[in-house]
Structure formats: C-alpha cells, structure tokens
Copies of this chain bind each other. A is one copy, B any other.
Amino acid sequence: MGDSLRVAIAGLGTVGAGVVRLIDTNAGLIARRAGRPIEVVAVSARDRSKDRGIDMGRFDWVDDPVDLARHGNADVVVELVGGSDGPALALARATLASGKGLVTANKAMIAHHGLELASAAEAAAVPLKFEAAVAGGVPVIKGLREGAAANELTRVAGILNGTCNFILSKMEAEGRDFADVLAEAQRLGFAEADPSFDIDGVDAAHKLSILAALAFGTRPAFGSVAISGIRHVIAADIAEAAALGYRIRLVGIAEAGSNGLFQRVHPHLVPMDHPLAHVTGSLNAVMAEGNFVGPLLFQGRGAGEGPTASAVVADLIDIARGEYGPPYAMPADALADAEPEAAGERRGRAYLRLTVADKVGVLAEIAAAMRDAGVSIESLIQRGAASDGSVLVVIVTHEGPERAVAHALDKLSGSPSIIGQPMWMHILG
C-alpha cells in the first residue's frame, strides 16, 4: 500500500465535519479501494472552540484558511468555505498556484470561476475536482465527464435543488400554499433563514451551468441561464397540473444545438410518465440524452452531510488512485464559446394561469389575445370565483413558439380584467 494522500480541509461546517467523520468511519475500506490511506492532516475554520462532535484536536489547526494552500504537509486542499469569491476563491487560487490539488463542493465558485481554476489546475498539472458541487452525493459530474463521454449530448435536465423539490412535493402531497410550506421547511432545517438562493433558482442555475459545460464541451456560462424560481407557484397550480396529468418541478434544462446554447431554470410541468416526475422530497436527479446511449438518469440525495461528504471523498479517492484529468473532460482552452440561444426561438407547450375579475367578457378578451398572438389553445379551465371575487383561468397551449405566448401576455398586461401577474410555466417535452 502506498503513502497516504494528505488532505487539508478548509471549513468545518456540516460538510467539513462530515468529511472527517466519513474518513474516520470508512478508513480501512477507503485505503483498500484507493490503494493508499487518505489522511486528514490540517483543518481551518472560523471557530476553533466549537464542538463539532468529533475530535479536531488531532489535526494541525490553521486560522487563516488561505494558509492551507501553503501547508507543508498537505497534498490536496478540500475547500468547504463557500461563497463564489472571498476566502474560498483566494484559497482555491493559492492552492493550485502552490501545486496542490483542489477538491471543492462550492457550486457558486465553480459556476463563476471554474474556467479560470481549471486552467490553473491544468497549468500546474494538479487535480481540480468538484463532484459535490452538483447533486450532492450523486456522481453526475463523473457520469457526464466519463460515463457518457462517448456521446454527443443533446440535452441535460435535472432537479438540482432539494429545498425547492421538498417544498413542491409537500405542497403537492398536502395541498398547502408556498409560504406556509417554506416556513415549515425553515423550521425543519430544509431551507435557509434567507432562502432566496434556493427558491429563486440561483443555486440550481449554478449547478446547471456546470453540467452544461461538461455535457456540451462549452465554456461555463452562468450569466446566460434564464432563471426563475418557485415563489409564485400556488396550490391551485399544483392541483390543476395534477388534474392534467403533470407534477410541477423546478427543472434546470440545457440544450446545445444549431441555435446556440440554451440554459433555463424554471418551474415546469413534468408529465407523470417522465422520470423527473417521480423525484420527490429533497432528492436530486439529472437526465442526460446522448446520441448513442439515449436517456440516462442519475438520482440520489442532493445535499446534507453524508451525501456531500461522499462526493468529496470520491474525488479524493480518484486523486489517490491517480485517476483524474482535465476538470471539464477536455482542456479548458479547448472548450467552445457557445452563443446563448436567441430569445423567443424556442417552441414548446405552455401552462398559463391568470387571475381575473369575475365579469362578462374576460374570457373573450383572453381568447382574443391568444388568437391574435397566434397561440393555439389545447385546453382552458375556468373554476368558480373565490371568496374575493377573483377567478382562476388555466390555459394549456399546443406546441408553438414561446415568442407568441410572450406576445399574448404582453397584450393582456395592463388589462383591467387581469389581476396581478400571470403565471407561465413550460411543459417539459
């Protein structure tokens, strides 16, 4: 058995403590599988005295995480500080510059700076790995980089945020409204005190942009992800979708084609016979479609101590084995510069929910706007008025250009018959 792979860990929150616990618990197994032991030698965190339920006193303690980059005794730094910039990025840069490998779970940093870091890792001929940055314990980075590597991938789509999926699943199972379920998720620790990164889709977009770069061999392009979250999904949307044979999921979807690179995170109606419809609770799942393999599905726990630690240590085992290469499968400077797909070029089916005043002529006005914009209506459902006198109108369109739907909604905006903002969700095809 070879020499230990010596690891320094920056950040001892849930995941950092989990990595230490995993390496302790499965040490013998890891050494057998990796061909050599993996050994934590140094750690850094904000609060040295905090009880993390596990002995950190046996490791060299370093106050400034960035100092781990120059730690004399470490081969690899595990960055679990978090945040796209600041100390995490400083540590990542310094680690690669000093010729050490880097493993990170930091999706925000990889989404924003992954290309720079990959170039630096390749220049220094050291590993950079980030399996834990997407879908927690699910080996989907590896699945795309290696498992599906023989394929031209046409699409990658996934449920990438466990908090949103937990909330949507609970709304669905219990018929409750968003705000109510969010508050419960916060009490249970499934949602942050400030949940906006999760529920507004930013976290899923970070992950989607990482997957897209891997899947299509394109430069990471977080800035061109069209993002909207689940804040405006109401219980009635879920009930209407169910009646139509769909579940509502926050789906990140990326496609590369002749129109350019398309990336969107949006609540979608997912048909019941689609595998993503059966992803419930806080699970994550990713589908990829290849020109030879067809559709692949990877599913599992997308967050939490154990799953995230599992992905971090899988990366360390790959490094210990010497089984690693360019982070994005091909050298960073070989990634293509994909233009974002021009807006409005897409076609699809849409779900529209409008809250309208209960008065004569409203349906005619809506129907006329759809007709004039060239939107073909597959079904329209109007339920009786709510206690406040408002009425929900739900429309499912036939397949057509998204531009036409946007045009119809433009026509209706400002109409005194329409109350609040219409909800527009895409139907996953």
Contact = CB atoms under 8 A, between A and B. Distances in A.
A103 to B, nearest CB: 12
B301 A294 contact: yes
Interface string A303-325: 00011011111101110011111
A321 B163 CA distance: 37
Interface residues of A, number: 60
A293 B26 contact: no
A290 B308 CA distance: 12
A35 interface: yes
Interface in A371-390: none
A274 to B, nearest CB: 10
A143 B35 CA distance: 18
Contacts of A151: 26, 310
Given A26-B151, A306-B293, A298 B301 contact: no
Nearest to A25: B291
A32 B330 contact: yes
Contact of A275 (B278, B307, B323, B334): B278
Contact of A26 (B22, B150, B296, B331): B150
A149 interface: yes
A82 interface: no
Contact of A22 (B34, B150, B312): B150
Contacts of A295: 300-301
Given A32-B334, A138-B147, A278-B278, 7 more contacts: A18-B292, A33-B329, A35-B331, A137-B290, A139-B148, A146-B318, A150-B310
